[in-house]
A = this chain, B = another copy of it.
């Protein structure tokens, strides 16, 4: 693993988890201090992040964290529904035993951390929740057989993760929403090989999240979107 790779991962995490707010200029001199590396690995990492649409750059004017907006959030959510919906359908149709095993394992791991959390949820616990959530959804579509769909799903996943971390800083999940039940229903539909129902549930799941995000972002953290 090169220095570039390390710095890439650290920068990525710092952006996704909102430690660099949207639109913040990423000054090389400062990052050099912060991460303790030279210009070269920094610029390489930033160029790669540009490909994932986490940063933007203008010639001779350096890099900035990409902006967030409610409009853009809905675009990401709807695109995700399209891409992951199709990937899920294919997985349900083509997935083998190992796919099913991965699903069950992923759901169980997610349930455990959800229960453990209960009411109190500090930052590292939320990160763990986010990670297992991501892994469960990755497991759902893992047998789709398309590298491109998985690629796009990954990009959209980190994109929407930016909004989730932003929202969860100011609000806690609505009590009237039973996330565990939504995931359980998704798991059941997948195991029963009901592709249409699974895709519908996934669509519903993501739209709900979108509405939640819109609500929170609209009121509380509007400042963070500028």
Contact = CB atoms under 8 A, between A and B. Distances in A.
Nearest to A76: B148
Contacts of A75: 145-148
In the complex, the count of this chain's copies comes to 2
Nearest to A74: B146
Nearest to A79: B148
Given A5-B59, A53-B151, A79 B48 contact: no
A109 to B, nearest CB: 29
Nearest to A145: B75
A79 B84 CA distance: 12
Interface residues of A, number: 31
Interface in A179-223: none
Given A40-B40, A48-B51, A51-B52, 19 more contacts: A1-B59, A2-B59, A2-B60, A40-B43, A44-B44, A47-B47, A48-B48, A48-B50, A50-B51, A72-B147, A75-B145, A75-B146, A76-B148, A79-B146, A79-B149, A82-B83, A82-B149, A83-B83, A83-B152
